[in-house]
Structure 1
Amino acid sequence: MKLTGRILKYYSRIIAECIPLFVTAGLLSVFSAGAFQNKYLFEMSNILSFLVIPVFMGYKAGTVCGGDAGGLAGTLAASAVVMTEPASAMILSAIAGSLAGFFCRKGLDRIKNRIPAGFEMLFTNLYLAGLGLLAGVFTYYLMIPVATWLISFLGNGLFLMIEQGVIPLISFLVEPLKIIFFNNWINHGFFLPLGLEQLKVNSSSILFLLETNPGPGFGILLAHALIYKNMRKQMYSSLIIQSLGGIHEIYFPYVLSDIRLLAAAIAGSLAGNYCFMVTGSGLLGPASPGSVLTILIMADKSHWLGVIMGILISAAVTCLLSCLIMSGKKGKLTAEEENIQKDEGIQVRRIQHAKIYFVCDVGMGSSAMAGALFKKRLMLEGLKGIEVFHVSADRIPEDADVIVCQKSFARFLPETNKPCFTVENLTDMSGYRELLNWLMGGGEDGKQ
């Protein structure tokens, strides 16, 4: 199970770093199908989707496994895959690039001391070229048949669910996986490649809406604002971040703190998906992040009404059920929820310089938002010499002085002796009193 989780995380990381290219390809599709009606934009979109992106994924996979040299070998391996034009070129490019990068690093480490002086560049170039081509050939003969069958099997299953009208039921799988931080893998590693396959036969795909719908999260947060008056200021900012910023992780802690709310999220997601299905709504490309703005940008204008209705319905259903679930707890906040107050300043400063790393699943969502907000907070507090970064859990550097993550995500962190501060919600600055006190000279050296 642990190995499977690491593989999924690795694949999700590679996909996430290619998201800007996916969004660009989708935007080109939107423009080419809209008022511009430009066939060259459509061709550019296809080139990005079926050539540039797979090759780039091979490069990224090779770089992760074998450094710069591994990236070159991964590019060659991915190019060999793309030449065959398989239905699963993106996944196979990542696999081929990973193999080429891994063997590149291992092989060069073994032979670098045996290369005759003056022949280093020749041997290295020949080794990289041969390794990249061998990885491509291996993928072509052994991996393509298996991957093509798997993609076809999964795709046919989902398309059958769409035809039978039961696609909304996938909410029973998506929502539980989202709140345990598998949201990026579900969207980028599963729905994205299958959605691109569906675009080959349809003008749009509902698969791009199944995970990115911000309605359930919006409903959870709105319910907290309605039930708990002293949380409204915090909830209003969270609602904006979640719906317009597309940072869905912001509502996960609230569901994890009261698991009954998961039923409300599933019901809202199911209702929204049913609306998408009935109205025939879909997107022309992936929406990342899952913001109302990016969703509308990636949707054809003829689908706007159905998309907006689906989001609003899912938010309303989730909010109503969440209010009913939490009504018995009104006025009885947990200790974590009561920890919403202004931070007290401490005059004695101890930390003159520190590198703080905000950590989330892929290092591009809630951690980036939290890092930007915390930088502003440091300026207000007059703290200088503090550097703030955001990374994924598997890329925390050795020079990190402090690690910050959501409490519910802490179990995914690698073992470390670095001070680790956990908060209920990364983007809620009211939860950083302990970290600020530590930076100013008070408090303990972090919590694991």
Structure 2
Amino acid sequence: MATTTAGAPPVSRGKTAQVHIQRFGAFLTGMIMPNLPAFLAWGLITALFIAVGWLPNGVLGGFGNADLPGAWSGAATQLVMAEDGTTFHQYLGLVGPMVTFLLPLLIANAGGRMVYGERGGVVASIATVGIIVGSTVPMFLGAMILGPLSAWIMKKIDSIWDGKIRPGFEMLVNMFSAGIVGGALSVGAFYGVAPIVTQISTWLGDIVGWMADNHILPFMSVIVEPAKVLFLNNAIGNGVLVPLGASQVAEQGKSLLFLVEANPGPGLGILLAYTLLGVGAARSTAPGAIIVQFFGGIHEVYFPFVLMKPTLIIAAIAGGMTGIGTNVVMGSGLVGPAAPGSIFAVFAQTARGSFPGVILSVVLSATVSFLIAAVILRATRKRDLAAGESGDLSAAIAQTEANKGKSSAALSALVAEERTAEAAEAALSGHGTTTATAVRPIRSIVFACDAGMGSSAMGASVLRDKLKKAGVEGVSVVNKAVANLQDDVDLVISQRELTDRARKHAPNSRHVSVDNFMNSPVYDSVVQEVKEGAADDGVTAS
């Protein structure tokens, strides 16, 4: 069975580091993404019911005095001491318990399940209660650390007596071992881990505060925007920005950190520039990408446009800096993560009173990125048109570089894109270089991306539509996260930056790399091969 579209090149040390960072970011994302509905619910409740919300409610928001006339006695309260030394009962509400207990426990459970299934999730949740109770800040960071670690410890302890338990005692041993280990880890987390993670969270918050005091918060885009294009942003976003943003919301009612990554403005500006000044397939694809990126929130669709012309990263960085700077000046922010990064999700999580600043940050970031991208595209338009009009794109690019006297990163990206498509088509037709001798018919196809929810879902939808129009039935086309791939699928389609990781999870599957999930020539080759295989095996195909 073929395992790759071409002979896998040796992986450089830099490439290995990138893969490791991507894998780490994907693991963090795996803990956050399944729980985004809970984050959204918490954000909406916060926006509505806190004291400065749209519908202030002391019972639900957790700021009302339980001794007030007409107070609802059924609500849970806590004893609070005022500055003057007096005490009173205050409603717990929904906002505090959700951010303090629910969200960290969901994160810990997801991390534990990723490491050791349901058993790992239970032990992770038990242990994380200790770090939650023993800290003074929301323990998102602690849950992301302790959850997987607790599950791993339980897994190692179980391996000690695996296969050595007398028949009939398995349930007893499993229940008591998980209870004892979980309880011990919870106590240990309360006394040992909680103070350390609390201090780390405080330091991270102090760094953000220092950046704000010195007016350099916008410079976060210098790191975040390139990281997004290289699929390295999840480690930053889910590992740092989301926990810090949640802590700021708990203290201040909003945070601009949720908009550092989610702002759709920079991507919108770049795609608009391609729509007006791009050439060839890039120009024709950009308008559709705008809809998917700005309204659908799938930012990955503009990454290939930047990779085709790497200087456009300047436009992305400048747009991101403009958006952050606008929110700093306007004092605006969100009450929860805007995921996916759709303008609708951004508005849904915008704090009361922050709409002018948030809207302005999106508009200005899009404007700045558009102007810079337009200048870059306009400066290279003649050269791009000349290359596009040539019958042989590779030869035209080579000639252009010869005329220029030096190589061009943008043109090299175009050559790489063309060669990737050619190699994929050759492998799918059986003429490429493969590492196995047999090619089985394609009956199952998986689109794999970092989180398994955004761009891969879009690509799977596109291919399913093509197969349907071709009259092919009986072929499974699904989308998954790279980390969740299994080695029982016939064909894996992933973005070029993620293919190395995908091969490790599904080494016996065929792998195809694409630059753009929205529109790739590989899809037509896949449809043709599936249709031919369906005819040979009697699967329905018109």
Do both share a fold (TM > 0.5)? yes
Q: Is the 8 A contact 1:14 1:60 kept in 2?
A: yes
Partner of 1:445: none
Query: 2:166 is matched with which residue: 108, 116, 141?
Result: 116
- The letter for the 1-side match of 2:473 is K
SS of residue paired to 1:422: strand
Q: Does 1:94 align with 2:144?
A: yes
Partner of 2:530: 439
Q: Once the 2 structures are TM-superposed, how far is the Cα of residue 147 of structure 1 from its aligned partner?
A: 1.7
Q: Does 1:9 align with 2:26?
A: yes
Partner of 1:217: 267
Partner of 2:408: none
The one-character-per-residue Cα deviations of 1:162-200 (angstroms, maximum 9, x if unpaired) are 222221111111111111112333222211100111123
SS of residue paired to 2:137: coil
SS of residue paired to 2:261: coil
Q: Once the 2 structures are TM-superposed, how far is the Cα of residue 290 of structure 1 from its aligned partner?
A: 1.0
Query: 2:476 is matched with which residue: 387, 390, 401?
Result: 387
Q: CA RMSD in A?
A: 2.6
Q: Is the 8 A contact 1:352 1:384 kept in 2?
A: no
Query: 1:318 is matched with which residue: 369, 380, 384?
Result: 369
Higher relative contact order (CA 8 A, sep 6+): 2
SS of residue paired to 1:201: helix
Q: Once the 2 structures are TM-superposed, how far is the Cα of residue 39 of structure 1 from its aligned partner?
A: 3.5
The one-character-per-residue Cα deviations of 1:89-136 (angstroms, maximum 9, x if unpaired) are 222223222222123223223324333343322221110001111222
Unaligned runs of 5+ in 1: 443-448
Task: Report how many aligned residue pairs link the two structures.
Answer: 435
- The letter for the 1-side match of 2:489 is A
Give TM-score, length-normalised by structure 1.
0.90
SS of residue paired to 1:18: helix
- The letter for the 2-side match of 1:187 is G
- The letter for the 2-side match of 1:149 is Q
- The letter for the 1-side match of 2:514 is V
Alignment of 1:2-401 (within 5 A): 6-33=23-50, 34-42=53-61, 43-87=93-137, 89-228=139-278, 230-231=280-281, 232-330=283-381, 331=385, 332-333=387-388, 334=414, 336=417, 354-401=443-490
Aligned equivalents of 1:339 and 1:49: distance in 2?
A: 45
- The letter for the 1-side match of 2:494 is C
Q: Is the 8 A contact 2:141 2:201 kept in 1?
A: no
- The letter for the 2-side match of 1:68 is E
Q: Is the 8 A contact 1:373 1:429 kept in 2?
A: no
Q: Percent identity?
A: 30
Q: Is the 8 A contact 1:423 1:432 kept in 2?
A: no
SS of residue paired to 1:432: helix
SS of residue paired to 2:513: strand
Change (3 A) 1:166 1:381: same
The one-character-per-residue Cα deviations of 1:392-447 (angstroms, maximum 9, x if unpaired) are 112111211111112233244343242112222112356522322332339xxxxx
Q: Is the 8 A contact 2:462 2:518 kept in 1?
A: yes
Change (3 A) 1:176 1:401: same
Q: Once the 2 structures are TM-superposed, how far is the Cα of residue 338 of structure 1 from its aligned partner?
A: 12
Aligned equivalents of 2:295 and 2:253: distance in 1?
A: 26
- The letter for the 2-side match of 1:420 is H
Q: Does 1:408 align with 2:497?
A: yes
Q: Is the 8 A contact 2:26 2:235 kept in 1?
A: yes
Deviates more, 1:220-229 or 1:116-125: 116-125
- The letter for the 1-side match of 2:250 is K
Q: Once the 2 structures are TM-superposed, how far is the Cα of residue 4 of structure 1 from its aligned partner?
A: 5.5
Partner of 2:74: none
Q: Once the 2 structures are TM-superposed, how far is the Cα of residue 295 of structure 1 from its aligned partner?
A: 0.5
Q: Is the 8 A contact 1:353 1:384 kept in 2?
A: no
Q: Once the 2 structures are TM-superposed, how far is the Cα of residue 353 of structure 1 from its aligned partner?
A: 5.5
Runs of 4+ in structure 1 off by over 6 angstroms are: 337-340
Computing the radius of gyration from Cα coordinates, the structure with the larger value is 2
Q: Is the 8 A contact 2:135 2:195 kept in 1?
A: no
Q: Once the 2 structures are TM-superposed, how far is the Cα of residue 140 of structure 1 from its aligned partner?
A: 2.9
The one-character-per-residue Cα deviations of 1:236-288 (angstroms, maximum 9, x if unpaired) are 11001000111111111121221111111111111222111111111111111
- The letter for the 1-side match of 2:344 is L
Give TM-score, length-normalised by structure 2.
0.75
The one-character-per-residue Cα deviations of 1:32-72 (angstroms, maximum 9, x if unpaired) are 14443234443223222211111122222221111222222
Deviates more, 1:414-423 or 1:295-304: 414-423
Partner of 1:421: 512
Aligned equivalents of 2:443 and 2:320: distance in 1?
A: 42
Change (3 A) 1:138 1:434: farther
Deviates more, 1:210-219 or 1:113-122: 113-122
Deviates more, 1:201-210 or 1:177-186: 177-186
Aligned equivalents of 2:479 and 2:225: distance in 1?
A: 25
The one-character-per-residue Cα deviations of 1:297-340 (angstroms, maximum 9, x if unpaired) are 11134221211111111111111111211223321344648999
SS of residue paired to 2:231: helix
Q: Is the 8 A contact 2:488 2:509 kept in 1?
A: no
- The letter for the 2-side match of 1:36 is L
Q: Is the 8 A contact 2:134 2:194 kept in 1?
A: no
Unaligned runs of 5+ in 2: 1-16, 62-92, 389-413, 430-438, 534-542
Q: Is the 8 A contact 1:29 1:45 kept in 2?
A: yes
Deviates more, 1:97-106 or 1:285-294: 97-106
- The letter for the 2-side match of 1:428 is N
Aligned equivalents of 2:500 and 2:169: distance in 1?
A: 48
Q: Is the 8 A contact 2:99 2:138 kept in 1?
A: no
Q: Is the 8 A contact 2:319 2:368 kept in 1?
A: yes
Aligned equivalents of 1:326 and 1:223: distance in 2?
A: 7
